[in-house]
Chains A and B, each alone.
Chain A
Protein backbone atom coordinates (compact mmCIF):
# COMPACT_ATOMS: atom_id res chain seq x y z
CA UNK A 1 0.00 0.00 0.00
CA UNK A 2 1.32 3.47 -0.81
CA UNK A 3 2.18 5.79 2.07
CA UNK A 4 -0.67 8.14 1.19
CA UNK A 5 -3.16 5.25 1.33
CA UNK A 6 -1.67 3.96 4.59
CA UNK A 7 -1.91 7.46 6.01
CA UNK A 8 -5.67 7.45 5.60
CA UNK A 9 -6.25 3.73 6.25
CA UNK A 10 -6.42 4.05 10.01
CA UNK A 11 -3.23 2.00 10.50
CA UNK A 12 -0.78 3.37 13.07
CA UNK A 13 1.91 4.86 10.86
CA UNK A 14 5.60 3.95 11.18
CA UNK A 15 8.18 6.09 9.45
CA UNK A 16 11.92 6.23 10.00
CA UNK A 17 14.66 8.62 9.04
CA UNK A 18 17.73 7.97 6.92
CA UNK A 19 20.54 10.42 6.17
CA UNK A 20 22.08 10.48 2.71
CA UNK A 21 25.83 9.84 2.72
CA UNK A 22 28.53 12.45 3.16
CA UNK A 23 30.16 11.39 -0.08
CA UNK A 24 29.15 8.99 -2.81
CA UNK A 25 29.47 5.75 -0.87
CA UNK A 26 25.93 4.51 -0.27
CA UNK A 27 26.62 1.29 1.64
CA UNK A 28 25.60 2.63 5.09
CA UNK A 29 22.47 4.23 3.66
CA UNK A 30 21.65 0.98 1.83
CA UNK A 31 22.12 -1.03 5.03
CA UNK A 32 19.73 1.27 6.92
CA UNK A 33 17.18 1.09 4.10
CA UNK A 34 17.38 -2.72 4.11
CA UNK A 35 16.84 -2.76 7.88
CA UNK A 36 13.63 -0.75 7.43
CA UNK A 37 12.21 -2.68 4.49
CA UNK A 38 8.87 -4.19 5.39
CA UNK A 39 8.82 -2.39 8.74
CA UNK A 40 8.43 1.30 7.93
CA UNK A 41 5.48 2.54 5.92
CA UNK A 42 7.87 5.05 4.38
CA UNK A 43 11.44 6.19 4.92
CA UNK A 44 12.24 9.87 5.41
CA UNK A 45 15.34 11.11 3.63
CA UNK A 46 16.87 14.23 5.11
CA UNK A 47 17.97 17.37 3.27
CA UNK A 48 21.44 18.48 4.42
CA UNK A 49 20.20 18.09 7.99
CA UNK A 50 21.70 20.37 10.62
CA UNK A 51 23.03 22.32 7.62
CA UNK A 52 25.73 19.71 7.05
CA UNK A 53 26.34 19.14 3.35
CA UNK A 54 25.45 15.64 2.13
CA UNK A 55 24.18 13.89 -0.98
CA UNK A 56 20.95 15.44 -2.27
CA UNK A 57 17.80 13.82 -0.88
CA UNK A 58 16.43 13.68 -4.42
CA UNK A 59 19.23 11.34 -5.52
CA UNK A 60 19.14 9.40 -2.24
CA UNK A 61 15.34 8.92 -2.45
CA UNK A 62 15.69 7.61 -5.99
CA UNK A 63 18.38 5.14 -4.91
CA UNK A 64 16.27 3.93 -1.96
CA UNK A 65 13.05 3.68 -3.99
CA UNK A 66 14.87 1.46 -6.51
CA UNK A 67 15.09 -1.03 -3.64
CA UNK A 68 11.29 -1.04 -3.39
CA UNK A 69 11.04 1.25 -0.35
CA UNK A 70 8.78 4.30 -0.48
CA UNK A 71 10.39 7.54 0.62
CA UNK A 72 9.39 10.89 2.08
CA UNK A 73 11.76 13.48 0.66
CA UNK A 74 12.68 16.29 3.03
CA UNK A 75 12.86 19.70 1.46
CA UNK A 76 14.24 22.70 3.32
CA UNK A 77 14.01 26.33 2.23
CA UNK A 78 17.64 26.98 3.14
CA UNK A 79 19.54 26.03 0.00
CA UNK A 80 17.31 26.62 -3.01
CA UNK A 81 15.34 29.53 -4.38
CA UNK A 82 11.86 29.11 -5.83
CA UNK A 83 13.18 28.01 -9.23
CA UNK A 84 15.45 25.32 -7.81
CA UNK A 85 12.79 24.06 -5.37
CA UNK A 86 10.23 23.67 -8.12
CA UNK A 87 12.58 22.05 -10.61
CA UNK A 88 13.74 19.54 -7.98
CA UNK A 89 10.12 18.80 -7.12
CA UNK A 90 9.22 18.17 -10.77
CA UNK A 91 12.25 15.90 -11.08
CA UNK A 92 11.34 14.07 -7.88
CA UNK A 93 7.77 13.46 -8.99
CA UNK A 94 8.94 12.21 -12.39
CA UNK A 95 11.26 9.76 -10.58
CA UNK A 96 8.33 8.40 -8.59
CA UNK A 97 8.89 10.25 -5.31
CA UNK A 98 5.41 10.91 -4.00
CA UNK A 99 5.88 12.31 -0.51
CA UNK A 100 7.52 15.56 0.54
CA UNK A 101 8.18 16.91 4.02
CA UNK A 102 8.63 20.66 4.10
CA UNK A 103 10.64 22.68 6.63
CA UNK A 104 12.59 25.95 6.95
CA UNK A 105 15.87 24.16 7.60
CA UNK A 106 18.63 24.87 10.12
CA UNK A 107 20.57 28.04 9.36
CA UNK A 108 23.91 27.53 7.53
CA UNK A 109 25.85 28.87 10.54
CA UNK A 110 24.83 25.69 12.40
CA UNK A 111 26.50 23.43 9.86
CA UNK A 112 29.79 22.65 8.14
CA UNK A 113 29.59 25.41 5.51
CA UNK A 114 28.95 28.26 7.93
CA UNK A 115 29.83 30.95 5.38
CA UNK A 116 27.17 29.80 2.90
CA UNK A 117 24.56 32.28 1.74
CA UNK A 118 21.26 31.40 3.42
CA UNK A 119 18.60 31.34 0.70
CA UNK A 120 15.16 31.22 2.37
CA UNK A 121 13.63 32.74 -0.77
CA UNK A 122 10.38 31.16 0.37
CA UNK A 123 9.39 29.90 3.82
CA UNK A 124 7.80 26.57 4.70
CA UNK A 125 4.25 27.93 4.45
CA UNK A 126 5.02 29.36 1.00
CA UNK A 127 6.70 26.10 -0.07
CA UNK A 128 3.51 24.26 0.88
CA UNK A 129 1.70 26.74 -1.39
CA UNK A 130 4.13 25.92 -4.21
CA UNK A 131 3.44 22.19 -3.76
CA UNK A 132 -0.28 22.81 -3.88
CA UNK A 133 0.12 24.69 -7.16
CA UNK A 134 2.32 21.99 -8.67
CA UNK A 135 -0.32 19.43 -7.68
CA UNK A 136 -2.89 21.58 -9.49
CA UNK A 137 -0.72 21.65 -12.62
CA UNK A 138 0.75 25.14 -12.31
CA UNK A 139 4.02 26.64 -11.19
CA UNK A 140 4.34 29.43 -8.63
CA UNK A 141 4.26 32.07 -11.37
CA UNK A 142 0.98 30.64 -12.66
CA UNK A 143 2.38 28.98 -15.78
CA UNK A 144 0.66 25.77 -16.79
CA UNK A 145 2.73 22.60 -16.43
CA UNK A 146 2.87 19.65 -18.78
CA UNK A 147 1.24 17.28 -16.29
CA UNK A 148 0.54 17.88 -12.64
CA UNK A 149 2.44 16.40 -9.72
CA UNK A 150 0.71 14.14 -7.19
CA UNK A 151 2.57 14.81 -3.97
CA UNK A 152 1.40 13.89 -0.52
CA UNK A 153 2.67 16.82 1.51
CA UNK A 154 3.72 17.03 5.13
CA UNK A 155 5.25 19.57 7.45
CA UNK A 156 7.08 19.55 10.79
CA UNK A 157 6.22 20.92 14.19
CA UNK A 158 7.63 21.27 17.66
CA UNK A 159 5.47 19.77 20.37
CA UNK A 160 5.87 22.80 22.63
CA UNK A 161 4.02 25.45 20.67
CA UNK A 162 3.65 29.02 21.85
CA UNK A 163 0.83 31.17 20.48
CA UNK A 164 2.68 32.27 17.37
CA UNK A 165 3.79 28.65 16.80
CA UNK A 166 0.16 27.55 16.87
CA UNK A 167 -0.70 30.17 14.26
CA UNK A 168 2.05 28.87 11.98
CA UNK A 169 0.81 25.30 12.51
CA UNK A 170 -2.64 26.46 11.38
CA UNK A 171 -1.17 28.16 8.30
CA UNK A 172 0.59 24.93 7.33
CA UNK A 173 -2.73 23.08 7.41
CA UNK A 174 -4.37 25.88 5.48
CA UNK A 175 -1.69 25.56 2.79
CA UNK A 176 -2.15 21.85 2.35
CA UNK A 177 -0.08 19.88 4.89
CA UNK A 178 -1.81 16.52 5.37
CA UNK A 179 0.59 15.15 7.95
CA UNK A 180 2.96 16.51 10.56
CA UNK A 181 6.09 14.87 11.84
CA UNK A 182 7.00 16.23 15.24
CA UNK A 183 10.26 16.95 17.00
CA UNK A 184 11.34 14.11 19.31
CA UNK A 185 8.92 13.34 22.15
CA UNK A 186 10.22 12.40 25.60
CA UNK A 187 7.68 14.03 27.88
CA UNK A 188 4.38 12.19 27.41
CA UNK A 189 2.37 14.65 29.51
CA UNK A 190 3.60 17.58 27.52
CA UNK A 191 2.89 15.68 24.26
CA UNK A 192 -0.62 15.03 25.48
CA UNK A 193 -1.04 18.79 25.98
CA UNK A 194 0.26 19.38 22.46
CA UNK A 195 -2.21 16.88 21.00
CA UNK A 196 -5.05 18.53 22.87
CA UNK A 197 -4.00 21.87 21.41
CA UNK A 198 -3.72 20.65 17.79
CA UNK A 199 -6.82 18.45 17.96
CA UNK A 200 -8.77 21.66 18.29
CA UNK A 201 -7.24 22.87 15.03
CA UNK A 202 -6.80 19.88 12.73
CA UNK A 203 -9.36 17.76 10.99
CA UNK A 204 -9.06 13.96 11.13
CA UNK A 205 -7.44 14.04 7.70
CA UNK A 206 -4.40 15.82 9.09
CA UNK A 207 -2.23 13.17 10.73
CA UNK A 208 0.21 13.64 13.58
CA UNK A 209 3.29 11.41 13.52
CA UNK A 210 5.34 11.71 16.71
CA UNK A 211 9.13 11.82 16.56
CA UNK A 212 11.02 9.21 18.59
CA UNK A 213 14.77 9.33 19.24
CA UNK A 214 16.04 6.22 21.05
CA UNK A 215 18.66 7.48 23.48
CA UNK A 216 22.03 5.77 23.36
CA UNK A 217 23.83 7.31 26.29
CA UNK A 218 23.57 9.84 29.07
CA UNK A 219 25.46 12.21 26.82
CA UNK A 220 22.90 11.90 24.02
CA UNK A 221 20.16 12.78 26.55
CA UNK A 222 22.10 15.82 27.74
CA UNK A 223 22.89 16.89 24.19
CA UNK A 224 19.27 16.60 23.05
CA UNK A 225 18.18 18.83 25.91
CA UNK A 226 20.01 21.66 24.18
CA UNK A 227 18.29 21.06 20.84
CA UNK A 228 15.43 23.36 19.86
CA UNK A 229 12.02 21.84 20.56
CA UNK A 230 13.34 18.86 22.55
CA UNK A 231 13.00 18.41 26.30
CA UNK A 232 14.26 15.26 27.96
CA UNK A 233 12.64 15.19 31.42
CA UNK A 234 14.85 14.86 34.47
CA UNK A 235 13.59 11.35 35.34
CA UNK A 236 14.58 10.03 31.89
CA UNK A 237 18.02 11.65 32.22
CA UNK A 238 18.32 9.92 35.61
CA UNK A 239 17.26 6.56 34.14
CA UNK A 240 20.03 6.89 31.57
CA UNK A 241 22.52 7.95 34.24
CA UNK A 242 21.70 5.03 36.53
CA UNK A 243 21.65 2.40 33.81
CA UNK A 244 24.50 -0.10 33.39
CA UNK A 245 23.49 -0.61 29.76
CA UNK A 246 22.43 2.82 28.48
CA UNK A 247 21.75 1.64 24.94
CA UNK A 248 19.28 -1.01 26.11
CA UNK A 249 17.79 1.49 28.55
CA UNK A 250 17.29 3.97 25.72
CA UNK A 251 15.49 1.31 23.68
CA UNK A 252 13.24 0.50 26.63
CA UNK A 253 12.42 4.19 27.13
CA UNK A 254 11.64 4.62 23.42
CA UNK A 255 9.33 1.57 23.42
CA UNK A 256 7.62 2.81 26.58
CA UNK A 257 7.03 6.28 25.11
CA UNK A 258 5.64 4.75 21.91
CA UNK A 259 3.20 2.61 23.89
CA UNK A 260 2.09 5.57 25.96
CA UNK A 261 1.52 7.97 23.06
CA UNK A 262 0.03 5.42 20.68
CA UNK A 263 -3.58 6.14 21.69
CA UNK A 264 -3.02 9.89 21.27
CA UNK A 265 -1.55 10.24 17.76
CA UNK A 266 -1.55 8.69 14.30
CA UNK A 267 1.94 7.28 14.10
CA UNK A 268 5.56 7.47 15.09
CA UNK A 269 8.72 8.49 13.32
CA UNK A 270 12.01 6.90 14.41
CA UNK A 271 15.09 9.12 14.21
CA UNK A 272 18.00 7.11 15.61
CA UNK A 273 21.35 8.48 16.71
CA UNK A 274 23.50 6.58 14.21
CA UNK A 275 22.00 3.63 12.34
CA UNK A 276 18.77 1.62 12.40
CA UNK A 277 20.35 -1.47 14.00
CA UNK A 278 17.93 -1.31 16.96
CA UNK A 279 14.82 0.01 15.22
CA UNK A 280 13.15 -3.34 14.56
CA UNK A 281 13.71 -4.47 18.15
CA UNK A 282 12.29 -1.22 19.53
CA UNK A 283 9.18 -1.56 17.38
CA UNK A 284 8.76 -5.16 18.61
CA UNK A 285 9.20 -4.04 22.21
CA UNK A 286 6.52 -1.42 21.57
CA UNK A 287 4.32 -4.16 20.11
CA UNK A 288 3.94 -2.31 16.83
CA UNK A 289 5.23 -5.19 14.68
Chain B
Protein backbone atom coordinates (compact mmCIF):
# COMPACT_ATOMS: atom_id res chain seq x y z
CA UNK B 1 0.00 0.00 0.00
CA UNK B 2 1.09 3.55 -0.64
CA UNK B 3 0.92 5.93 2.30
CA UNK B 4 1.56 9.66 2.63
CA UNK B 5 2.50 10.86 6.12
CA UNK B 6 2.35 14.55 7.05
CA UNK B 7 4.71 15.56 9.85
CA UNK B 8 8.09 14.00 10.59
CA UNK B 9 8.16 14.41 14.34
CA UNK B 10 8.65 11.49 16.70
CA UNK B 11 5.35 9.85 15.81
CA UNK B 12 5.55 10.58 12.08
CA UNK B 13 9.13 9.31 11.78
CA UNK B 14 8.35 6.17 13.78
CA UNK B 15 5.21 5.47 11.76
CA UNK B 16 7.13 6.01 8.52
CA UNK B 17 9.84 3.59 9.59
CA UNK B 18 7.27 0.97 10.66
CA UNK B 19 5.38 1.25 7.39
CA UNK B 20 8.59 1.11 5.36
CA UNK B 21 9.77 -2.01 7.19
CA UNK B 22 6.37 -3.63 6.63
CA UNK B 23 6.98 -3.26 2.90
CA UNK B 24 4.72 -0.29 2.15
CA UNK B 25 5.59 2.64 -0.09
CA UNK B 26 6.00 5.70 2.11
CA UNK B 27 6.38 9.40 1.43
CA UNK B 28 6.72 11.76 4.34
CA UNK B 29 6.21 15.54 4.32
CA UNK B 30 7.64 18.11 6.72
CA UNK B 31 8.23 21.83 6.54
CA UNK B 32 11.71 21.53 8.07
CA UNK B 33 14.43 19.43 6.45
CA UNK B 34 16.06 18.84 9.86
CA UNK B 35 13.08 16.73 10.87
CA UNK B 36 13.99 14.03 8.36
CA UNK B 37 17.04 13.20 10.50
CA UNK B 38 14.60 11.43 12.82
CA UNK B 39 14.01 8.77 10.15
CA UNK B 40 15.75 5.42 10.37
CA UNK B 41 19.05 5.49 8.37
CA UNK B 42 17.77 2.55 6.30
CA UNK B 43 14.50 4.34 5.39
CA UNK B 44 13.65 3.63 1.75
CA UNK B 45 10.76 6.05 1.36
CA UNK B 46 10.61 9.54 -0.07
CA UNK B 47 10.96 12.78 1.88
CA UNK B 48 9.15 15.91 0.71
CA UNK B 49 9.88 19.38 2.02
CA UNK B 50 6.84 21.63 2.18
CA UNK B 51 3.61 22.80 3.74
CA UNK B 52 1.05 20.01 4.13
CA UNK B 53 -2.02 22.17 3.53
CA UNK B 54 -0.69 23.15 0.10
CA UNK B 55 -2.32 20.94 -2.54
CA UNK B 56 0.76 21.11 -4.76
CA UNK B 57 2.97 19.72 -1.99
CA UNK B 58 0.51 16.87 -1.42
CA UNK B 59 0.55 16.09 -5.15
CA UNK B 60 4.37 16.02 -5.11
CA UNK B 61 4.13 13.48 -2.28
CA UNK B 62 1.97 11.29 -4.52
CA UNK B 63 -1.39 11.85 -2.83
CA UNK B 64 -3.24 11.22 -6.08
CA UNK B 65 -2.50 7.49 -6.02
CA UNK B 66 -2.10 7.06 -2.26
CA UNK B 67 -4.14 4.42 -0.43
CA UNK B 68 -3.75 6.10 2.93
CA UNK B 69 -2.93 9.47 4.50
CA UNK B 70 -1.93 10.19 8.08
CA UNK B 71 -1.63 13.72 9.52
CA UNK B 72 0.63 13.87 12.57
CA UNK B 73 2.14 17.39 12.70
CA UNK B 74 2.14 19.08 16.09
CA UNK B 75 -0.72 21.39 15.05
CA UNK B 76 -4.25 20.06 15.48
CA UNK B 77 -5.73 22.50 13.00
CA UNK B 78 -3.08 21.82 10.39
CA UNK B 79 -3.76 18.07 10.71
CA UNK B 80 -7.50 18.67 10.45
CA UNK B 81 -7.25 20.83 7.34
CA UNK B 82 -4.73 18.58 5.57
CA UNK B 83 -6.82 15.48 6.32
CA UNK B 84 -9.94 17.08 4.92
CA UNK B 85 -8.05 18.10 1.78
CA UNK B 86 -6.82 14.50 1.39
CA UNK B 87 -10.33 13.16 1.88
CA UNK B 88 -12.52 15.66 0.03
CA UNK B 89 -10.26 16.84 -2.80
CA UNK B 90 -7.98 13.86 -3.43
CA UNK B 91 -10.48 11.18 -2.33
CA UNK B 92 -7.91 9.14 -0.41
CA UNK B 93 -9.69 6.06 0.96
CA UNK B 94 -8.09 5.82 4.39
CA UNK B 95 -7.40 9.09 6.17
CA UNK B 96 -6.35 9.24 9.83
CA UNK B 97 -5.80 12.44 11.73
CA UNK B 98 -4.13 13.12 15.07
CA UNK B 99 -5.95 15.69 17.21
CA UNK B 100 -4.61 16.43 20.71
CA UNK B 101 -7.70 18.37 21.83
CA UNK B 102 -10.32 15.75 22.86
CA UNK B 103 -13.29 18.05 22.15
CA UNK B 104 -12.07 18.85 18.67
CA UNK B 105 -11.35 15.16 18.13
CA UNK B 106 -14.89 14.08 19.01
CA UNK B 107 -16.40 16.90 16.92
CA UNK B 108 -14.43 15.85 13.84
CA UNK B 109 -15.26 12.20 14.44
CA UNK B 110 -18.92 13.25 14.29
CA UNK B 111 -18.13 14.94 10.98
CA UNK B 112 -16.80 11.64 9.66
CA UNK B 113 -13.09 12.32 9.94
CA UNK B 114 -11.32 9.36 11.53
CA UNK B 115 -9.14 10.82 14.26
CA UNK B 116 -7.14 9.77 17.28
CA UNK B 117 -6.55 11.84 20.40
CA UNK B 118 -3.25 10.88 22.04
CA UNK B 119 -4.33 12.96 25.03
CA UNK B 120 -7.16 10.57 25.87
CA UNK B 121 -5.25 7.44 24.86
CA UNK B 122 -2.17 8.50 26.85
CA UNK B 123 -4.11 9.51 29.95
CA UNK B 124 -6.01 6.20 29.89
CA UNK B 125 -2.75 4.23 29.66
CA UNK B 126 -1.28 6.18 32.57
CA UNK B 127 -4.46 5.73 34.60
CA UNK B 128 -4.28 2.00 33.97
CA UNK B 129 -0.60 1.81 34.88
CA UNK B 130 -1.21 3.59 38.17
CA UNK B 131 -4.48 2.00 39.31
CA UNK B 132 -4.65 -1.25 37.39
CA UNK B 133 -8.21 -0.26 36.34
CA UNK B 134 -9.83 1.31 33.32
CA UNK B 135 -10.99 4.91 33.80
CA UNK B 136 -14.62 5.93 33.38
CA UNK B 137 -15.32 7.68 30.13
CA UNK B 138 -15.12 11.46 30.51
CA UNK B 139 -18.32 13.38 29.99
CA UNK B 140 -17.88 15.73 27.15
CA UNK B 141 -19.42 19.13 27.63
CA UNK B 142 -21.28 20.17 24.57
CA UNK B 143 -22.34 23.71 23.77
Report if A and B associate in a common complex: no
Query: Contact residues of A with B, CB < 8 Å?
Result: none
Query: Contact residues of B with A, CB < 8 Å?
Result: none
